[in-house]
Structure 1
Amino acid sequence: MYSQWGEATTYPEESGQRLAFVSMGLRLHYRAWGAGIPSLPILMLHGHPGDADCMTVFAEAVAGLHPCVAPDLRGYGRSQVTDPFGMSAHLEDLQLLLDELGWQDCLVLGWSLGGILALELALRLPERVKGLVLVATAACPRSDHPPTDIWDQVNTGIASLINWAWPGWEWNIDTFGRRSLYRYLLQQHTPTAYRYLAQAALPAYLQTSHHASQALGTALRQGYNREGALHQIRIPVLLMAAEQDRHITLGSSAATAQALPQCTWIAYPNTAHLFPWEIPAQVGQDLRQWLRAQDWGIPSTPSAKVY
């Protein structure tokens, strides 16, 4: 029973439980893996558009090493909203979630928008965030995405619908996928990447609210830039980026890595913004290797709830 934030709701899942809690009057949902693992837990934050299911690729990579929780951020996935909100609401939600889980210490892994929130959480809660994994993100995100036209939209819609019905079908990938907007999100148009698109990306896109898009768009138009604060983050950081990322450029990610005092930097060739779905085995191997190499300097039994 979650006495302060509301009653937990559990959804039986083959891989990872689904639960919910209440933050500022809103019911927020999250997914949890790794019950009972006596190790430093990881909070995993998805991008835009996205949801907790998009983070399965990372949860599977650390299976048996760390317990993980991935929320559907406010306005995404099952955490739907009816009113506008600002980006700071995400941070309030995440702090309440950490309190609800009983996590006094944790790592935070964030992909794209999730990486920006991870940086903000580390600045906000330096005594609780012991390490960061930043994926395809930057403290001052810059894009060089080219203009799109109606045929980009048409091909993307057709590719997505066919891929949803027949995930990873190579005829669809070659006929529509490579001509769609996926060509700016992927460099390696493999059946594996397209299965991730069908299973996680398309459902997340359809459930991303207008209010969530509006909150992010407002922050970007205001010129979001936290590079000047990065010197305050004196914890181990792994920053993974793609050399052909058009959504958050390699250069902006590299500038973030250079400004962080304790950052390990990996740039993957022939990949784009969705590189964890292009090369999941390599990303998982590098993530595990980095996690095992760190001396977190805290007890290995955090006060986390048992899921």
Structure 2
Amino acid sequence: MSHSSINRRQFVTRAAAAATVAATAGLAAFPAPAQTGRVLRIGNQKGLLSVLKGRGTLEQRLAPLGVKVSWTEFTAGPVQLEALNVGSIDFGDVGEAPPIFAQAAGAPLAYVAATQPRPALEAVLVPKDSAIKTVADLKGKKVAYNKGSNVQYFLAKLLEKHGLKYADVQSVFLPPADARAAFEKGSVDAWVIWDPFLAAAEVTLDARLLADAQGVVNNRGYYFSSLDYANRNDDVIKLVIDELNKVDQWAAAHRDAAAKELAALWGLPKPVVDKSVARTVYGTTPITRAILQEQQVIADTFFELKLIPKKINVLDAAAGRLA
């Protein structure tokens, strides 16, 4: 696949670029229309929520409760969270990092569910013939990654695990499409990236995987609401999570069909998506104190790296929903 092909279609690129700023900085306002009766306004990226939307089963489950569902597609987790902040959506999906920025910026975020850990979906790549053979060999090298994203946290912890400091590498902050271009040209020595970019580089560039996040960080995804909505509509939230878990279980049992559906959503060749789907751990789990402690460690790390302006207590976003 060409770089331009990836650049045209990526739904993740703009999300990653947006994750380098606080969720309330410089984003457009999202007007919240007046509603009568109960409504669930979902902000979805192109993933399992989009699959759920296409099936219509959530609307069927919520109809007896008198709840209407509306959908708005977003290309970035931080923009979703800004829409939540101004009251335009009630539910959405996001990675580990954007909620940290959103909470630090004062958004009324509530974690309502999490995916299973997916550490195989992010990794450090080097060119096939690179002299870099171990993580320790990264010392002094130019490493490209998206600032403020999940992979920045992964890199910091990976270096620590191998006896290096975060400052021991030359960080080159680039969004995924630009990082891929730099990687192809050889202007960086390594690239820290996530799926489906990771799979695309392995399949189309023959890039070598130096280390993934297994044994380093968990790399979960999260479903969120607002504190107010979650507290007033617990029955609705539970039904959404139940339907999402059904989609998860279907994907786990029908990976080829899931890859076909996601390939169409992502605009990527199926062999690339096959690689990603094969290493995805599917499943939705309730929020627990232990899971939020994982987020707290990320928040503390980002504060130490001066990526957020203040310390936050992630438990403030629990909405009384700890399992």
> How would you bin the TM-score normalised by the shorter chain?
under 0.3
Instruction: Give me the TM-score of the superposition, normalised by structure 2.
Output: 0.26
| Greater helix proportion | 2
* Bigger RCO (CA 8 Å, 6+ sep): 2
